[in-house]
Structure 1
Amino acid sequence: MNKHSRPIVVGLGIMIVLCLGILAGLLTLWSLMTTPVPVHPESIPFGVPGITQDPRYGIILEVFPGESPARLGRRLEMAGLIRSRLLWEMLIRIDREPIKAGVYGLTNEFSILELHKLLVSGKQLVIRVTIPEGLTISKVATILEKEGICTAADFIKVTTDSQLLREFQIPARSFEGYLFPDTYYFPWRYPAASVLKMMVQTFFKRFTEFTANQKELSPERIHQMVTLASIVEREYRLPEEAPRIAGVFYNRLQRGMALQSCATVEYVITEILHKPHPKVLYYQDLEIPSPYNTYLHRGLPPGPIANPGAVALKAVLSPEKTDYLYFRLIDPERGAHHFSRTLDEHTRAIPLYVKGEKN
């Protein structure tokens, strides 16, 4: 090797070393960004703002509106969700796509790169909630609170909001009957008013579908039908019997007879008097003074006693035409009823049963 080539070799050697060093640094950096951080919900330090643990959804991270990525990084480091705040700040400088405010559910193991990708995507924690048919507002509220959507108190309060009732043209003091039973997807800690609106909008969407071939109904007429449908909902168990039960109630209304629905008495006991759901009704229960007691008062009660589903609503819209005036539960296990035309036939049927509580 001559004296002129030696500096070139040395320079090449230095460049190779530098390149290898840079490559090693990049590989280390990539490893730090892609290696999952083993985090367990129970290990989250108490008191870190906006970061909590939930036994069902793992780690709950809230990104506050207007929060800077740097401030978010400090919270993530405090909670042990990232290895280094400096690494986080380096990442947000490389990828300048904005992080979206909201509530996110995190698994027990994720890398800083995966975390950043999630927060940039805006794919927030969404909770699947199924509301069964025939529940009252108070029971719907309990489900929503249990699932972490909103508090029961907030939901119950908003269901009597007079401004919202006027907005939806509901001639009543509450939204009882208009919370359509369905499966919903709500963000965690969603505002109670937003939850309510989604459920009521679903009701009117479905009700419009059911009445597509009928003339337009007034809010007062809709309210009457929803009220009757709520009673049918709490009375039927076999879907094929719902239109017949609706027909019985229409026959009684047309003749000026009291509806005499046990479901309305159950409503008085549980929702107005706030007593446990009865296993059996006694004659003294049928005499409880209340405008909702259809044994004492003719016609429809002041409003719905539950939130009816599609079967009950369709039954009221298209009742079965018969001359039956009475029905009685004869098979509590199957939910089958005996239908009668006369009081004498009705009284000879099996004694009164009470339907099970809607959960």
Structure 2
Amino acid sequence: MIEKEYKITMNNCENKQKSGLKSSATLLLILAICIFSMIMAIVSIIYIKKSVTTPMSRIANPKIINIPKGSDLKTVSSILKRDGFIKDTMTFNLLAKYKSAEGNLKAGEYQLSLDMPPLQILNLILEGKVYQYPVTIPEGYNIFEIASLLSKKGLAEREKFVLLAFNRDFIESLGIEANNLEGYIFSDTYYIHKGMDESAIINKMVDTFRKRVLNEITDEYKKTGLTIHQIITLASLIEKETGNEVEKPIISAVFHNRFKKRMRLQCDPTVIYALLLKGIKEKKIIYDGNIRKEDLSIDSPYNTYRYAGLPPGPIANPGKPSIHAAIYPSVSKYIYFVSKNDGSHHFSSTIEEHNRAVRIYQGKNNVTTKDTKKKTKT
């Protein structure tokens, strides 16, 4: 009996020892798995961190890519991999999910380069820092030319831009007291992204005009006896008459002197603008680059050969030198000028002197152009 109990006890001990060994082995296995998992996790983290902070190349090689509207994370990462900005989509997708970027990626055009790491690229798209196209509006461009320039660059619809520039409610919302925005779009270099609304583009340009012009001439223009609108209108005439900054104050003096003598301004560019407006209204080209004698009689309030004083508004968007010249004309008795066909003009204070200059510089040519104007002011 005792022997039997002893055997049972020994068997139980052996079973417990075996069970203990199995438990220890299991614990060791679990521990090994945990350690391996931790090592793999650390390695993965190091790999991912290195992957998202390492660019594809040290050479920039910038390129503009387009993220279409409605693109999900998978589409965005595929575009980036296709264009060579990331090595694999999985790592980029993991990064995006870690940053809760899914669903927050902004559509648009982005300028990316190969020396930008994936993390920087993701942040750029998350923040919506789309590429801004530089657009320079030359001094003297009118609204129609500006609209065409933006349209050619794919940044605005020409017709929509023009309609807004002539929309009274929109103009009033900008705080401009005029029938249209001609003259109030400042000539400068602007940065515009594709998809930017035409109203936002115009707002940006008018705001620049307000800051760069209106805020600076608030007190200066008053001594001229003209309103701000009249100053901008006069400046636009000066702008279109010459690109020679030295001559701008002299041409301004001619116009101011003609005001005082109650003479018509007889400014060729106003006739060109009148022809342009008529052509747009009738949907045909009327001005082909030449002004003919019959054009000088066109019935338009912009025609300063037919109507005295300034036209009802600017005929272009003048630069600051022309605006300054309108406020500060030079001191002279000149009331005539004629093109010398070299970018400069001959100025006269008498009709006899002017007619002699016309014969010298224009000969018998009875056609005037933008570059070779024949002035016969009376």
Please state which band the TM-score falls in when normalised by the shorter chain: 0.7 to 0.9
Summarize the alignment of residues 232-243 of structure 1 with structure 2, pairs less than 5 Å apart.
232-243=238-249
The 3 A distance-change label for structure 1 pair 314 and 329 is same
1:11 CA drift (Å): 9.0
The partner residue of 1:91 within 95, 98, 115 is 95
Q: Residues of 2 paired with 1:345 and 1:266: CA distance?
A: 26
Partner of 2:251: 245
Partner of 2:333: 323
Greater shift in the superposed pair: 304-313 or 208-217: 208-217
Please say if residues 251 and 323 of structure 1, whose CA atoms lie closer than 8 Å, have aligned partners that are also in contact. Answer: yes
Please say if residues 106 and 126 of structure 2, whose CA atoms lie closer than 8 Å, have aligned partners that are also in contact. Answer: no
Determine if the alignment matches structure 1 residue 105 to structure 2 residue 110.
yes
The 3 A distance-change label for structure 1 pair 337 and 356 is closer
Q: Residues of 1 paired with 2:212 and 2:42: CA distance?
A: 61
1:262 CA drift (Å): 1.1
Partner of 2:169: 163
1:254 CA drift (Å): 2.1
> In structure 2, what residue type is equivalent to 1:116?
L
Partner of 2:74: 74
Question: Matched residue of 1:176: which SS?
Answer: coil
Q: Residues of 1 paired with 2:219 and 2:302: CA distance?
A: 32
> In structure 2, what residue type is equivalent to 1:73?
L
Determine if the alignment matches structure 1 residue 291 to structure 2 residue 306.
no
The partner residue of 1:172 within 159, 178, 199 is 178
1:181 CA drift (Å): 0.4
> In structure 2, what residue type is equivalent to 1:222?
I
The partner residue of 1:270 within 253, 260, 276 is 276
Please say if residues 160 and 175 of structure 1, whose CA atoms lie closer than 8 Å, have aligned partners that are also in contact. Answer: yes
Greater per-residue helix proportion: 2
1:235 CA drift (Å): 0.2
Question: Matched residue of 1:240: which SS?
Answer: coil
TM-score (normalised: structure 1): 0.77
1:18 CA drift (Å): 5.1
The partner residue of 2:291 within 281, 297, 302 is 281
Kindly provide the CA deviation profile for residues 80-106 of structure 1, in whole angstroms up to 9, marking residues without a partner as x.
646766544421332247846453414
The 3 A distance-change label for structure 1 pair 74 and 97 is closer
The 3 A distance-change label for structure 1 pair 35 and 10 is same
Structure 2 unaligned blocks of 5 or more: 1-20, 373-378
Kindly provide the CA deviation profile for residues 214-254 of structure 1, in whole angstroms up to 9, marking residues without a partner as x.
3769xx82222211111111002210110110111111122
Kindly provide the CA deviation profile for residues 261-280 of structure 1, in whole angstroms up to 9, marking residues without a partner as x.
11112223334325375454
Question: Matched residue of 1:60: which SS?
Answer: strand
Q: How many residues align?
A: 327
Question: Matched residue of 1:284: which SS?
Answer: helix
Q: Percent identity over the alignment?
A: 30
> In structure 2, what residue type is equivalent to 1:316?
A
TM-score (normalised: structure 2): 0.74
Q: Residues of 2 paired with 1:136 and 1:37: CA distance?
A: 46
Please say if residues 327 and 340 of structure 1, whose CA atoms lie closer than 8 Å, have aligned partners that are also in contact. Answer: yes
Partner of 1:68: none
Question: Matched residue of 2:192: which SS?
Answer: strand
Q: Residues of 1 paired with 2:251 and 2:158: CA distance?
A: 33
Partner of 1:195: 201
Please say if residues 265 and 294 of structure 1, whose CA atoms lie closer than 8 Å, have aligned partners that are also in contact. Answer: yes
Alpha-carbon RMSD = 3.5
Structure 1 unaligned blocks of 5 or more: 39-55, 65-70
Q: Residues of 1 paired with 2:232 and 2:36: CA distance?
A: 80
Please say if residues 61 and 106 of structure 1, whose CA atoms lie closer than 8 Å, have aligned partners that are also in contact. Answer: no
Summarize the alignment of residues 1-359 of structure 1 with structure 2, pairs less than 5 Å apart.
21-22=40-41, 24-26=43-45, 28-30=47-49, 33=52, 58-62=64-68, 72-77=72-77, 79=79, 81=81, 86-96=90-100, 99=104, 101=106, 103-107=108-112, 109=114, 112-214=118-220, 221-273=227-279, 275=285, 278-330=288-340, 332-333=341-342, 335-349=343-357, 350-351=361-362, 354-356=369-371
